[in-house]
Structure 1
Amino acid sequence: MNFLEISRLAFVTAFYLYCLSFIFYVIAVTGKTWKNRDPKQHERKWGRISFATSSLGLLAHLIYCGTRWAYSGHIPVSNMYEFMTFLSMMIMIAFTVVFLIYRKILLGMFALPVAILVMAYAAVFPQEVQPLIPSLRSIWLYIHVTLAATGESFFAVGFAAGLMYLLRTVDFGSHDKSARRQKRWVEFTLFSIIIVVGFIVSVYSFRAAGYEAVFTQNTTNIDSQVEEDSTIGKEVYNLPPIVAPHNSTMESVQPFLGMDHALFEAPSWMKGVNAGRKFNTVLWSILSGIVIYALLRLILRRPLGQLLAPTVRGIDPDDLDEISYRAIAIGFPIFTLGALVFAMIWAQQAWGRFWGWDPKEVWALITWLYYSAYLHLRLSRGFQGKKASWLAVLGFLVVMFTLVGVNLIIAGLHSYAGTD
């Protein structure tokens, strides 16, 4: 068995251990109310089992990283599969650090799903080890990407604690205007997470079914005032085509629910690698998310926020507020160094400029400005409690758009990190 096979086995092992640990955390939190149980003893027992299981998962995750690094000769962060897997590992490290400080069992029930979701998202992308492209052959790859992911991992823990705070403090039984608005925003946050779940479910489902649609795309190259011959390329969809590539014809398709052709073409202004296919993926993610959310509401017969709220009743909201703030305060300087300072130094070496308004650069700056505003309001304006928690939750949605949305929607110099 070589290093690559060990890394794949370690990846799968880590994923299942995280899932098992999440189940144990749920038992630790919800099992306190079982009859004939000592709540404190039950929580301590299952809390230890949960943390031990998640720690074993993290150990397997570290083995994945080390063996893949040994096989490829470079740190595994060079494409979307590797980076998102590395990010999920850093989320678990950040969770472990915060957990050892505050010893809040409930945090695992909300932080583990974030790491699991990111890991499942990573597995959607091609997993082959590829040689580094020239622009990535630099020591700054190690510094820039790893520090940026570390900072974002602490933002994820801050998000989990902030969401827990909102579930703890929003009055889901009230019908006044303010409470209704807050309940809607909590539900929107949960729905945003389900859209990512929808993306994963739809990709895996059609991949398992072997679905494929092939388009022939005609591209006209214009040099000065002379029109050159058109070049023809093929674009393969693994999801049923709602939107076809711009200026293309369908070569073959497997009908799905009567869909034997695309409903419309991607607009001409959508440029970049596989823009039509990426737009199609975004539409399927939203549609799948809506279907999953509707089914959950139909089965549970109540909003998801209202369902989760009872799990956090026994925890002090001030502790959650403190955990969210501390996690973001730890992550911010790390993110600043990794995503901005060292990134600009690398950009100067690789592309001859510190800043070029590349979409990923712009959204990294937006993320940094957002969390700068969060810390400023927290420290100087007394933004605590609900206000700070809302900022922590919305901030991580900005992070996820930077990581996911920019790669699927916007083309740029960082497109090597996109889907294959």
Structure 2
Amino acid sequence: MLDFSGGALIAALLIYSLSFVFFAIAVGGKKWSNREPAEHGRRWGWIAFGAALAGTAAHVTFFVTRWIAGGHIPTSNMYEFMTMLAMAVMLAFIVIYLIYRNILLGAFTLPLAVILIAYASVFPSEIQPLIPSLNSIWLRVHVTTAALGEAFFAVGFAAALVQLLRVVDFTRTDKAGRKARRWTEYTLVVIIIVIGFLVSVFSFRAAGYEADFQQTVVKTVNGQEQTYVQKVKYGLPPFVKPHNSETVSVKPFLGMEKPLFEAPSWMNGVNAGRKLNTIIWSLLSGLILYGILRLVARKQLGAVISPHLSDIDPEDLDEISYRAIAIGYPIFTLGALIFAMIWAQIAWSRFWGWDPKEVWALITWLFYTAYLHLRLSRGWQGSKSAWLAVIGFLVVLFTLIGVNLVIAGLHSYAGVS
């Protein structure tokens, strides 16, 4: 069953990639066809959407079969949650696409789903048993609705990013023009850093790289200090080793035979040193990848993409982004706040506990509340609305990734394998 489930996810990933290619061809218009651009776009758009439906069907098959094999909803670790989020993004995309039929949305949403699946594959994929507090129907309702709300936010982000790339004038040299170009480029850099992280992890994993450390951990329990030793394994060359640890074995990489420094003592979360090392590698590999792309393009990446979007109506993208967020907001409210508090009361006998994940879920909700308020009462449309949608999804990403992996708490998942 697990082999079949894993095969279904691989099939979904391949079909999503193929769907993205079809959407790119649809956007390309007459560059690849002798037909009229509108006819060409419609034809390839439906082919691409059909492939997206097939990929989503394979993804749902993965989700259902893994649920059957594990005996519980597959959300117990980062691998399961991120694959479910990618599935939710595709379901949200299907809904929005059927309403607006905008092929450009597919060209930017499909890569997001692919990146989420690739990111999930970084983490251990073994099925883990649920502890009693997690084995509740309210967990299923809470997690699935929260993920679906975030998925609509992701679609809104994709439309907003396309809108910004469309309306920002990369030829302007005044202060306002330079500022718009700079922040648009920063957004693309964040995406490339995530891609660079995936490239580095899978590259060193394929090479079989490992580094092992032995860490001494001191904890205070009931007023008494307890000391124990744990093993920490790295999959990336260590710039930083765990705090209060000894090196067991490190494979040399580019002449680096030992870590450059030790993680600070205040970073006392689970495998904090390894996670800090991962962040360093993500920034380094992402910036190197961005530098290579800039050398090839010889201009800002936004300036490369923008001319290909000249036929797109930015007002349509603004409407799509707003509608996607408007649909996701009540779903997220139910899942991340109301259902979450009901589950917290059942699991931990309190509705609210200021756990880092709870705090950032509230921050996310407040941000999108402000977005909708400004949009409806203040008339914020166009670029202002798009920037809010982009920033909002960056907050979502920090809630999903930063809180789960960097900040210790009740909601923390397993780290990178």
- TM-score band, normalised by shorter chain: over 0.9
Match of 1:382 in 2: 379
Give the counterpart letter for 1:375 in structure 2: L
Give the drift of 1:135: 2.1
Match of 1:371 in 2: 368
Give the drift of 1:131: 1.3
Give the drift of 1:37: 3.2
Match of 1:319 in 2: 316
Give the drift of 1:408: 2.1
Give the counterpart letter for 2:316 in structure 1: D
Identity %: 64
Conserved? CA contact 2:405–2:414, under 8 Å: no
Conserved? CA contact 1:85–1:118, under 8 Å: yes
Supply the distance in 1 between the matched residues of 2:152 and 2:386 (Cα, whole angstroms).
14
Supply the distance in 2 between the matched residues of 1:273 and 1:174 (Cα, whole angstroms).
47
Conserved? CA contact 1:58–1:89, under 8 Å: yes
Q: Structure 1 residue 336 and structure 2 residue 330: aligned?
A: no
Match of 2:298 in 1: 301
> In structure 2, which of residues 62, 73, 96 is the aligned counterpart of residue 75 of structure 1?
73
Supply the distance in 2 between the matched residues of 1:381 and 1:415 (Cα, whole angstroms).
38
Give the drift of 1:303: 1.1
Give the counterpart letter for 2:341 in structure 1: M
Q: Structure 1 residue 413 and structure 2 residue 416: aligned?
A: no
Supply the distance in 1 between the matched residues of 2:355 and 2:205 (Cα, whole angstroms).
32
Give the drift of 1:114: 0.9
The verdict on how the C-alpha distance between 1:35 and 1:4 changes in structure 2, with shifts beyond 3 A counting, is closer
Map of 1:192-271 to 2, 5 A cutoff? Answer: 192-222=190-220, 230-271=227-268
SS of the residue aligned with 1:246? coil
Give the drift of 1:134: 2.1
Give the drift of 1:299: 1.1
Supply the distance in 2 between the matched residues of 1:223 and 1:43 (Cα, whole angstroms).
64
The normalised TM-score by structure 2 is 0.97
Identify unmatched segments of 5+ residues in structure 1: none
Identify unmatched segments of 5+ residues in structure 2: none
The verdict on how the C-alpha distance between 1:383 and 1:179 changes in structure 2, with shifts beyond 3 A counting, is same
SS of the residue aligned with 2:216? strand
Q: Structure 1 residue 90 and structure 2 residue 88: aligned?
A: yes
Give the drift of 1:137: 0.5
Give the drift of 1:33: 3.5
Conserved? CA contact 2:25–2:32, under 8 Å: no
Conserved? CA contact 2:160–2:321, under 8 Å: yes
Supply the distance in 2 between the matched residues of 1:326 and 1:73 (Cα, whole angstroms).
36
Match of 1:280 in 2: 277
Give the drift of 1:281: 0.7
The normalised TM-score by structure 1 is 0.96
Deviations 1:358-402 (A, max 9, x none): 111111111111101000000111110000000001111111111
> In structure 1, which of residues 112, 118, 121 is the aligned counterpart of residue 119 of structure 2?
121
Supply the distance in 2 between the matched residues of 1:237 and 1:205 (Cα, whole angstroms).
14
> In structure 2, which of residues 178, 181, 184 is the aligned counterpart of residue 180 of structure 1?
178
Give the drift of 1:224: 7.0
Supply the distance in 1 between the matched residues of 2:325 and 2:191 (Cα, whole angstroms).
20
> In structure 2, which of residues 34, 56, 59 is the aligned counterpart of residue 61 of structure 1?
59
Match of 1:404 in 2: 401
Give the counterpart letter for 1:126 in structure 2: P
Supply the distance in 2 between the matched residues of 1:232 and 1:159 (Cα, whole angstroms).
44
Match of 2:152 in 1: 154
How many residues end up aligned between the 2 structures?
417
